[in-house]
Amino acid sequence: MEERLQKVMAARGVTSRRKCEELILAGRVKVNGQVVDQLGYKVEEESDQIEVDGKVIGKVSFKYILLHKPTGFITSASDPQGRKVVTDLVKNVKERVYPVGRLDYDTSGLLLLTNDGELANRIAHPRFEIDKVYLATVKGIPSAQALHSLRNGIMLEDGMTYPAKAEIEMKDLERNQATIRLTIHEGRNRQVRRMCQAVGHPVIRLKRIQLGFLTLGNLAPGHYRQLEPSEVDKLRKLFN
């Protein structure tokens, strides 16, 4: 069966489909030994040999990992400064998996890792509006006006945020702090922390508890599990 070259490349875990198109246009892709630098080229998935920068890319066994990230790890596959990275926590997985989006060094919670580049890019892209649910323990007790601001969008230095869902989960009057359940679908750098700071309630602790329909369940910090095939299918259907 013939498929567009960039679609097959993305399906084999090279990178996103858009970046595969850039590789093709740059003349870095060969099919059966011949350079292909035009979009729209179709290949026979089962028989044609595809090379990227001289390396043959074969079919990939995709892995989908749900990790409960602890604080003290950076969301990366490696770090030149020698800090601990989330991939250090994923043992006995021979495929190289990469984080989908990011959680800050001092943020814990649900993080996906995969070698499926196309699905990863769709999950991370804000236009697909995948809900991300956080529990933010903040200084002070947010007022109704503060919650209203979070729900209606806040002007940050990089622009207005989309409306969010915000509810107080718990109040600790003795410590003068509260836990807010905050749902967003963007993925800006340190967004939840900046939103809470903007309404006068700096974050003390932050944990992501849900991504779309996926939840942490009883998964302990530092532990992970592979997604069930039914969960992967359900994720894919979100983008059809």
Cα–Cα separations (whole angstroms), residue 146 to 141, 143, 176, 187, 231: 9, 5, 16, 21, 36
Among residues 104, 158, 172, 233, which one is catalytic?
Answer: 104
Beta bridge partners of 206: 136
Q: Where are the alpha helices (DSSP H) in 12-139?
A: 17-25, 117-124
Contact 189, 83 (CB under 8 A): no
Q: What is the DSSP string of 170-182?
A: EEETTTTEEEEEE
Nearest to 90 by CA among 67, 63, 115: 67
Residues near 47 by Cβ (< 8 Å), separated by ≥ 6?
none
Residues near 36 by Cβ (< 8 Å), separated by ≥ 6?
5, 24, 29, 30
Cβ neighbours, 10 Å, residue 178:
20
131 is catalytic: no
Burial class (CB in 10 A: 0-12, 13-18, 19+), 55: exposed
Which 8-state DSSP code applies to residue 86?
G
Q: Which residues are catalytic?
A: 104
